[in-house]
Structure 1
């Protein structure tokens, strides 16, 4: 009979045989009145790390732990076994003299992956390993499906993302990534709460897909008999709260965009948006760099991280450069000298820049943005604020003081990737309506991601919104940098995937 502990490369027939063996073990236990699935609660006293970190205090004392059996070794009257819990692993020492012949035999019969609860005394082995001398134990869950073989592990990305539970069990670094993710989100909230921001919950279902240029997911509400949209941004609702008099607000949660999947994009992603009354985009730059530096220090103890072989330093102040200067620096084109749309179109034609509409309808500002994306964006390795964006691509943003071709908008870039977007928010309802109408024209010209007008938001602007700074940060991308994750799918517990039709 095959050894199920060495199961790398198992064929389906072999896997079925292993699972059959495990099921037979379960049935035998149930017939003996030892059904592990009849266990409802375990009164644990400690986790593995607690015992290891406090050995001097706990030595010789009784503890109860619970976890998954990940290894067994030894023979005769002694078994050593590693058990993993949420904080790590600890060695169990199971000896005939302490548990009796029947229980020793029972432990030897356990499968890798089974869950046990064990009570015993804390001690160190001759090799100095902190362990638990087991006096009693109980099987609390039977694993019917074998885990991947230890040394080959779970390598296939599709299997890792689809069966994240196994990925976490087999790869401790994956668990560490998601523990850090939780710590990062906690630190963000802590920073903003200390600054006097109020966390708000905005709708996920909305009659309008507003607040960003993106393709939405559409669903249908049966009772109202209307189509609704999963939110692509929280911006418009949060601005309505600024109108209401909440001067500092944020929402951190899921957004949904019906777009492509790659190493930087997942259709369902986590974002934070915050808005502060009586502030502008300069304030948003300051809060961005200070927030991310705070998170780095809190979670990592340093503002310097190694990402894909490059050291990134998030310490403030970040570099600041206008889009015009960034384009000039990396493409050689000086937009201070470009006076018309026609001149810009000629440059776009010469550079073979792609657009969703006919080139004759492309504006100077759109060419500037396309040049930035083509030549400059990937060069922004260290944290950089690129600011003063063309008005054509910033419909919710106030015009630049002293230059109406531009707006008070910036995006933050790290390692050539956008991590945040911020404005001095447009609060003139007349101008805002005109901007929305211009966006409607863009939709007619073929841009199905152009903004749509939200009359409820316009109603709020007409009530009156104070000068406001707004900021949106992609949480998943920040987590990627702080955990050295190559793909966004490595920092999302359950990334979007096609269904597995091979049950």
Structure 2
């Protein structure tokens, strides 16, 4: 029998059991089953003969003569159940109609087997949802990477370590909110559809609003709207929400991603660095149990987050990586040096792109960190405040951990005249890309402020030791499945 024929036969047998349940007057996709306790709670305060009522998915079924052992899993864990003819009576025959993957509700009393396993001897069983398809690999795990991402629900059922990663993601986001709110920050919401995409240099997704007759764009960053709130008097704010960028997909990039942006009026970038250091250390200790992390993919021996974290200027990083005073070289010398050191560059790459790519390959990718790289070139960060002592750089940092940028932080630019000049320079001839509403808001006066932006997906990768951004997003973007 071929694999396809075998699969069809399994589907047929499950449909037959579905009909058998219905012939017994049982709804195979039953109603609520109230009064259940989480399996973890039952196990935590387990006692012989204690009553138990639980529900979950069948992971295993073992017939042993006139007895049946099985394991049921819920969101908190799994537990063994036991039944025999004496405990279930005439309903014992119903067990023959169960399959792996069925969702059941049971009630009975706790006891411990001879091998010491905590078990519930059931006296009633209710079918809550019949599984019409067999689960993958007979619980040896869903191994195919494409299938894991496309059918995440099976990945979560079959692979406990995947559920653990997403459990940590949920706790990380919850702790970020708590940490910031305890320090006086207010969570706000800003538009995800914008008439002019701004706050970052990226290609947006375009759409069209029929009623207003205007083009709109999914936001690439919330920054320009959050700064309007600074103008309006909200002095400590943050937003945790989705950004969208119509660009490539890679190990570190998904077109839809979760971002934290936070702004603090009357603060500057060193204060934002301290805030960020405290936040990441808090998350590591709370969610991961300590400050020592395993680097994803073994790229580095380990990552030690113990504070204080070092600071190093951008120019010094490039000098150490290239062996030359990078900014003392002319444009052609920088390109030749970068290519000699293995940096791949497009023929038409602009000067600032040569610098960016060289930094990313020779510094960022090789830095275990944590490291705050400070004082970046003005051209790289047009929304940051100019450094008072060196007009060629701005007062910013980029936090690097595990060979990737985790978060930038700024002393925000609040001079509307300089801001307009920089955005006009960035836009070139495409003046329609200027957000005049934002520039008008700045003219009313925005307080000096510090800001940070942190990619939550990359942070979760770091704290869970995951190698790909797809491993920490429930449903990453995939090409549609090809059909015959």
TM-score, normalised to structure 1's length? 0.91
- Among 25, 36, 52, the alignment partner of 1:63 is 52
Determine the structure 2 residue equivalent to 1:389: 376
Identify the residue that residue 192 of structure 1 maps to in structure 2: 180
Native 8 Å contact 1:324 1:368 kept in 2:
no
Which residue does 2:21 correspond to in 1? 29
Give 1:194-343 correspondences, 5 Å limit: 194-308=182-296, 309=298, 310-335=301-326, 337-338=328-329, 343=330
Structure 1's 152 and 502: CA in aligned 2 closer, same or farther, altered over 3 A? farther
Which moves more between the two structures, 452-461 or 275-284? 452-461
Where has structure 1 moved over 6 Å in runs of 4 or more? none
Q: Could you tell which deviates more after superposition, 229-238 or 42-51?
A: 42-51
Cα drift, residue 476 of structure 1: 0.5
Aligned twin of 1:454: 435
- What is the CA-CA distance between 1:26 and the residue it aligns to? 0.8
Instruction: Determine if contact 1:44/1:66 at 8 Å carries over to the other structure.
Output: no
Alignment match of 1:158 (pick from 146, 158, 167): 146
Please say if 1:490 is aligned against 2:477: no
Query: Residue 277 of structure 1 contacts residue 469 of structure 1 at CA under 8 Å; is this kept in 2?
Result: yes
Measured in 2, the distance between the counterparts of 1:173 and 1:115 equals 21
RMSD: 1.9
Tell whether the 8 Å contact from 2:36 to 2:55 is kept in structure 1 after alignment: no
Q: Which deviations, in whole Å up to 9, do the C-alpha atoms of 1:177-204 show, x marking residues without a partner?
A: 1111000001111100111000001111
Residue of structure 1 equivalent to 2:336 = 349
Q: Which sections of structure 2, spanning at least 5 residues, go unmatched?
A: none
* CA–CA separation in structure 2 for the residues paired with 1:470 and 1:442: 29
1:364-407 deviations in Å (ceiling 9; x for gaps): x5554343223212121121111101111111011112110000
Contact persistence 1:79–1:108 (CA under 8 A): no
Say if 2:54 is the partner of 1:73: no
* Contact 2:338/2:354 (<8 A) preserved: no
Shift of the alpha carbon at 1:482? 1.3
Q: Deviations over 1:96-145 (max 9, x none)?
A: 11111x32221133101111100000111111111111011111110001
Contact 2:326–2:334 (Cα < 8 Å) also in 1: no
> Match of 2:12?
20
Cα-to-partner distance string for 1:28-53 (whole Å, 9 max, x where unaligned): 2112211222x221013312111111
Q: Quick one: which of 458, 463, 467 aligns to 2:444?
A: 463
Of residues 115, 133, 139, the one that matches 2:127 is 139
Q: Separation in 2 of the partners of 1:443 and 1:392? A: 18
Match for residue 44 of structure 2?
A: 53
- Is the 8 Å Cα contact of residues 59 and 139 (structure 2) preserved in structure 1? no
Deviating more after overlay: 346-355 vs 223-232 = 346-355
Give the aligned partner of residue 448 of structure 1. Answer: none
Correspondence 1:99 to 2:88:
yes
- Aligned partners of 2:243 and 2:463: how far apart in 1? 21
Contact 1:345 1:367 in 2 (8 A): no
